[in-house]
Every structure is written in C-alpha cells, then in structure tokens.
Amino acid sequence: MASNEEGSIGTSLHGVTAREQVFSFSVDSSSQTLQSDDPTAKFTLPVDSEHRAKVFKPLSFAKPHMRAFHLGWISFFTCFISTFAAAPLVPIIRDNLDLTKTDVGNAGVASVSGAIFSRLAMGAVCDLLGARYGTAFSLMLTAPTVFSMSFVTGPVGYLAVRFMIGFCLATFVSCQYWTSVMFNGKIIGLVNGCAGGWGDMGGGVTQLLMPMVFQVIRLAGATPFMAWRIAFFIPGFLQVVVGVLVLTLGQDLPDGNLSTLQKSGQVSKDKFSKVFWFAVKNYRTWILFVLYGFSMGIELTINNVISGYFFDRFNLKLQTAGIVAASFGMANFFARPFGGYASDLAARLFGMRGRLWILWIFQTVGALFCIWLGRASSLPIAILAMMLFSVGTQAACGALFGVAPFVSRRSLGLISGLTGAGGNFGSGLTQLLFFSTSRFSTADGLSLMGAMAVLCTVPVAFIHFPQWGSMFLRPSSDGERSKEEYYYSSEWTEEEKRQGLHEGSIKFAENSRSERSRKVALADFPTPETRTPTHV
Amino acid sequence: MAIHKSLFASLLICLLFQISHGATKERLFSDLEKGALEVTAKPSREGVLDAGIDKLSITWKLSSTATKEAEFTTIKVKLCYAPVSQVDRPWRKTENELFKDKSCPHKIITRAYDKSPQSFEYTLERDIPTGTYFVRAYAVDAKDHEVAFGQSTNEAKSTNLFSVQAISGRHKSLDIASICFSVFSVLALLVFFVNEKRKAKIEQSK
C-alpha cells in the first residue's frame, strides 16, 4: 500500500522526498540566533541546527561556509604542488645530484611518508586548535623546507628535503575537517569530493607548472642545475601567501573562531586521550585506513612515477610526458567530486549501504584499469587505460569521504587524520614494493599494484553500522541499537553524558538520519509497511 | 558525443605517429661499422675535470680499415657514459636500437665530413652531470642515418676514460633568499598566533 511516490501519503512524512528537512524536530529561524551573540552568526546560506550549510554554492565566497571551502581546497592544492614539484624535474635533478634509480625511488617513498605522521597529528590539532591553525601551521612551517631545496647537493639531502616537504600533505586533513564542520551531512559527500578533488589536482598541475617555470628561468639565462632550484621558490612562495590568507580570511566554525568560542564556554575543550581512544577503538577507522591506502595511496604513487614511465617506456619528450602525467592528476577536477556526488545520491536512495557499495564499485573498477595500464604496450591504449583508472580511483577517494564523516562525531578530526595517513602509508608501501628496485619493470609494478588494490578493497564489505547496515547485512532490528543516537552517544562515558558534553553528538545523530534508506525512513511512521516495525 | 569524436580522433593521430615512427625502428648499433674513425680525447689536466671550466682536446680521422667512406657526409661527435656511470640508472641504458639508445646524450660538435684529420677544443658544458665518460664520433650519411663510428675507448669501454664533476648549481644569492623567505614564513605564523591568543584573553576578561 505504501507507495514510493514522492509525498503521496501526506506531508507529514519527512525524508521521503529527500527535499525536506530530515530532523526529528523542526528548526525555526529564531533558534538560529540563540547560539551566540557573536556578530558573525548571520549566515548567507541556509543552515541546519549545528549552523552547517545545507547547500553548496561553489561560485560563492560567502562567510563563513564557502570561504572555508575555498581556502581549504586552495591550501591543499598548494601543498600538492609542493610535494610533487620534484617529480617532473627528476630528469634534471638526477643529473645534478648524481642520483641512481634507488635514490629516486627512495625519495619518492620519503615524499609521502612524512605525511603519515603529520596527518595523524593534524587530526588532533584540528580537534584541539581548530582547522584554521591546522592549515596555517602546515603551510607556513613547511614553506622553509621547500625553500631549502636550494641547499641540496646529493641523494641524502634530496631525500631529507622531500621527506620534510611531504609533511605539508597534512592540509588534507585540516581541509576535510573544515568542510565537515561547515557543511551538512546530506551534501558532505559532494563538498568533500570537490575540496579533495580540486586539491588533488595540484598533483597534476605541478607536472605542467614546474617544467614551465623551469623553462622560463632557463630562458632568463640560468643553467639547468640552478634553474630547477630557483623553480622551487614558486611553490614555497605560494604556500606562504595562502597561509596568510587562511589566517586573515578564514574562520574555524560557523559561529566563530575556536579560541573565542572556547573561552566563552560555547564549545567545550575535549581531552586528546579520549578523542584518540575512540578513534582507535573503532574498527571502521582501520578499514578506511586500508581502503584509502589503495585509492589515494596509488594515486600518490602514480603522481611520482607516471611521468617517468611514459618518458622511458614510450620515449616521449619531457614536456609530452609531463602533459600525459598532468592529465592523470587533472581528472580529479570532476572525478573526485563525482565520487562524492554519487555517494550522496546513493545515500538518498539506499542510505549508508548505497555509499558503501558505490565505494567498492569505484575502487575495484579503478584498480582493474590500473592492471590494464601496466599491460598496455601501445601509447593510445596506455593513455585510455590511465584515464579510466584515474576516474575510478579518484571517484573512490571522493566516495570514501562520503562515509568517513559518519564513523565518529567525537573523533572526526582524528579519523580524518588516520584515514589520510592510510593514504600516504599505502603510497609509501606500493612505491617501496613495486617501484624502488629493479625487480619489476615499472609496467609490471603498475599491474601488480592494481591487483593488490583489488584485494585490499574487499574489506569495505565488513564496515557495518548497527543503525544503517552494511553492504550485505541489514541494519540492526534491536530497538535501541538501531538509533543513530545510540551509536554516537556510545562515544561518551556516563559521567560525560551527565555533564551534557555529548550534546553536539546528539545533534549530529539527528541530522544523520538522512543516512537511512528510503524504505527504512518510511518504517518510522505508523503506516502499513512491508517491514515489521518493532518499535512503533 | 563531441567528446567521443575528439577522443577517437586523438587515438587515430597517435596511431599514425606510431606507424610513421616504425620506419626507423630497425636501425641497429651492431650494424654500424666499428672503428671506422680513429678518435682521441685528451683532457686538459689530470684528475677529475670540472664542468664548465676544463677542456677536452678531441681529434678524429679516417681509419685505414674503413670501408664505407663514400657514404660519409657529416660527423657527429658525442660525449658518452662509461658503464660505471650507467649502473642503476636505466635512463642512461645502452640499447642496440639506435633510436632507443640513451648512452650518448651530450652533443659535442657536428661537422661536415673531411678526409683530413680534424680536431676540436671542447669546453665541458655546465649541464654535464658527474660521471665517467668517453668520446664517440658517428659518421652519418646524407639521409641522416648513422653508418659507422669510432670512439676514444676500446670495445669494452674500459680504457681512456675520464671523470667529470658537475657544477653544484648552488649560489649564495639563492641561499640567502631561501633563508629570508623561510624566516618570514615562520615569523608571520607566530605573530598571528600570539596576537589571537592575546585577543581571546582580552575577550574573556571582558
């Protein structure tokens, strides 16, 4: 009897059309202003009960939501440029510093390893100091390492500098954290996908930018061995400028800056040990760690090896190889947002289960194309395989961050950090296993990496939310455990709940009811349904 | 649809490039006449040479054993890597197919073929990397195809090798600029941080 036609049973059914508010209580405009008398509490975009924006307007720069979005992705973009700035210039650098293949490979591993630790630390920094300072620290404290390329004289110095520059990839965590606190859960997949994707584009842009800057400096009269060092000043300078912009134009939370809100008692300071424990205890964090290692991880690896691969295997010129390599990274512009959007769309139809399936599909398909890329022996096929591989893998990255914000509310920052660190760990591992020795040709390395990625994507089937289900299992039918509130308030002890510290998590739980599938949302209401409601 | 068309077109163009490139694929190094030219390369001083400063005295003349002399139009003299500089560096690999061979990337001089002995005073360029080298001269015919060669070392590439030390590429002005920008970056961050903490404290005491 209950049809799936939109709004056919009466307007009291919330959530069916996905165009209505999915809150269990109504939000009227007066409650928006009772939060604080902070002058910045007036919003240009419609917001939910946590003051997170409910719509995403990419062309706007309105305070505080869209501004945070733009500052976030630009910071991340700049850091990607710096981290992979060396890759397209390796043919020059390896001659200047007398590097061997092992040296180049090890430096590649080092360039992504530093971020494993910094991404972990960044999660905690964001939870404790706010996203603005997290981003600014990352940008402005690693800018000196970018400038220090002018001092490098051999393989050891090169490795050390690439390692230190790699720390700035922690901006990924602060960027995703910033968008997660600024945008509502229903659109978070798309927003995180855009922020992540446009930031990741930096890895592609750098393959074009650095050779271009290098050419210009050479034309101005410098020798090649000095020109590449001067070229590094560009990413360094960009980092400083963007860091200053973040500090002056950005805002931590919709209601104001973290330090102001904490001092006025509106946001309680959380204990790091608790935040850490709840992040680590949750098995889903570790599954996401592995998954991201084989989507973003292989993307980072490709950023380091693909230019050289096309240069050596197909005998392309340096600039041509750079253009091909850049197309891989540039696909991020639409591929990752598409992944996030697909995740949000799947959530509207099938809830969290849809998000998990989309994630598995994209990541597996991407990995299969990676296997094909290694097998391709003609240039057109290789380019086709590479583009399909890039879309699949980057969409998987976007889809994963449609899931991550729901794993925890209390430890959101740290989980973003751990997942992000997983990406770098995967990259370091794959570079070490497949691209640092002469055991495999680069082509074989690519195929083996794809095969490993297919295997390591299987664990997504084990992510289960009692309130929403998993890929193969239905949500729990237990009356208490099937509520979002139960899941999110289980991160707080009884003592803390008595003190009311978990209020933020309860609000989040209410807003996250959007992750139920349409069929389950119908079961909430006393109308005849096929599902036997146990808690009517 | 337009995307499909342009993708197909670019694939077609790539294929055409492949086919046209195939015509030169068969020319092999092993087909060239060995020792057709007698080449010597004498460094200007003992020990490791400095790029950008030291010189090589290069001479080449027709060897008595040469047979394809009638085809020679141009002589291309190149600086080549000795085996020790190719270890663990696949981008300098010696390949038999001439178009793939990457062991002689540095051009020294190209001259029209002359029967009389030739010489050239070569100053090592500033983009020559650190390594061990020898000199090879290719004799090229009118179609720009190599037909013969001669080199300053033996067939095993073990004698008469010389070492070059590259320029560092560093410069004092770069170092100073680097330090200045770095200090600015860290200071700016600290100033912002301290300032905000102070403002928050003032807010709280209000």
pLDDT, tens digit, 9 for 90 and up, residues B47-65: 899 999 999 999 998 888 8
The answer to whether residues B89 and A90 touch, using CB atoms and an 8 Å cutoff, is no
Q: CA of B99: which chain A residue's CA is closest? A: A315
User: One-letter amino acid identity for A450?
Assistant: G
Residues in B touching A144 (Cβ below 8 Å): 181-183, 185-186
Q: Half-sphere exposure (CA, 13 Å, Cβ side) for A524?
A: 20
Q: Residues of B near A (CB-CB distance < 8 A)? A: 10-11, 14-15, 17-18, 87-91, 99-100, 126-127, 129-131, 166-171, 174-175, 177-179, 181-186, 188-189, 192-193, 196-197, 200-201, 203-204
Confidence at residue A509, expressed as pLDDT on a 0 to 100 scale: 81
Helix (H/G/I), strand (E/B), else coil: B121: strand
Task: Return d(Cα A167, Cα A160) in angstroms, integer.
Answer: 11
Task: Return d(Cα A499, Cα A238) in angstroms, integer.
Answer: 45
Strand ranges (DSSP E) for A232-336? none
Structural domains for chain B:
29-165 (2.60.40.1930)
Task: Return d(Cα B206, Cα B197) in angstroms, integer.
Answer: 15
pLDDT for residue B6 is more than 90: no
The answer to whether residues A24 and A513 touch, using CB atoms and an 8 Å cutoff, is yes
When pLDDT is cut at 50, 70 and 90, the band that residue A93 belongs to is very high
Task: Return d(Cα A28, Cα B4) in angstroms, integer.
Answer: 49
Backbone angles phi, psi at A348, to 5 degrees: -65, -35
Task: Return d(Cα A171, Cα A180) in angstroms, integer.
Answer: 14
Residues in A touching B171 (Cβ below 8 Å): 150, 226
User: One-letter amino acid identity for A447?
Assistant: S
Which of A148, A171, A223, A262 to mutate to test binding with chain B, by most B CBs within 10 Å of its CB? A223
Angle at alpha carbon of residue B90, lines to B86 and B91, rounded to 5°: 95
Nearest to A329 by CA among A198, A177, A491: A198
CA distance B88 to chain A (A): 5
Q: List own/partner pairs for A432-439 with CB under 8 A and 24 or more apart.
A: A432/A105, A432/A109, A435/A105, A435/A108, A435/A301, A435/A304, A435/A305, A436/A101, A436/A102, A436/A105, A436/A106, A436/A108, A436/A109, A437/A102, A437/A105, A438/A101, A438/B88, A438/B90
Q: Do A229 and B100 touch (CB under 8 A)?
A: no
When pLDDT is cut at 50, 70 and 90, the band that residue A528 belongs to is very low
Task: Return d(Cα A90, Cα A162) in angstroms, integer.
Answer: 12
Percent of chain A with pLDDT over 90: 41
The model's pLDDT over A419-459, given as tens digits with 9 standing for 90+, comes to 888 999 999 999 999 988 877 788 899 999 999 999 999 99
Mean pLDDT within B149-174: 90
The answer to whether residues A422 and A292 touch, using CB atoms and an 8 Å cutoff, is yes
Residue burial A79-107, b: 16+ Cβ < 10 Å; e: rest: bbbbbbbbbbbbbbbbbbbbbebebbbbb
Percent of chain A with pLDDT over 70: 87
C-alpha radius of gyration, chain A, whole number: 24
E strand or H helix that includes residue A76: helix A65-83
Task: Return d(Cα A409, Cα A127) in angstroms, integer.
Answer: 11
Confidence at residue A101, expressed as pLDDT on a 0 to 100 scale: 85
Q: Is A307 on the interface with B (CB under 8 A)?
A: no
pLDDT for residue B147 is more than 50: yes
User: One-letter amino acid identity for A238?
Assistant: L
Q: Do B185 and A144 touch (CB under 8 A)?
A: yes
Nearest to B131 by CA among A89, A218, A438, A94: A94
Q: State how far the alpha carbon of A103 is from the alpha carbons of A108, B28, B91, in Å.
A: 9, 32, 13
Task: Return d(Cα A102, Cα A110) in angstroms, integer.
Answer: 12
Nearest to A398 by CA among A185, A171, A206, A188: A188
B78: tokens are 């190149």
Q: Do B204 and A263 touch (CB under 8 A)?
A: yes
When pLDDT is cut at 50, 70 and 90, the band that residue A21 belongs to is very low
B103: tokens are 């062991």
Beta bridge partners of B49: B164
Which of B97, B125, B178, B184 to mutate to test binding with chain A, by most A CBs within 10 Å of its CB? B178
When pLDDT is cut at 50, 70 and 90, the band that residue B182 belongs to is very high
State the ipTM, two decimals: 0.82
Percent of chain B with pLDDT over 90: 38
The model's pLDDT over A290-348, given as tens digits with 9 standing for 90+, comes to 999 999 999 999 988 888 888 878 888 777 888 888 999 899 899 998 998 899 899 88
Strands B162-165 and B49-50: parallel
Sequence-separated (6 or more) residues with CB below 8 Å from residue B191: none
Q: Do A264 and B203 touch (CB under 8 A)?
A: yes
CA distance B128 to chain A (A): 8
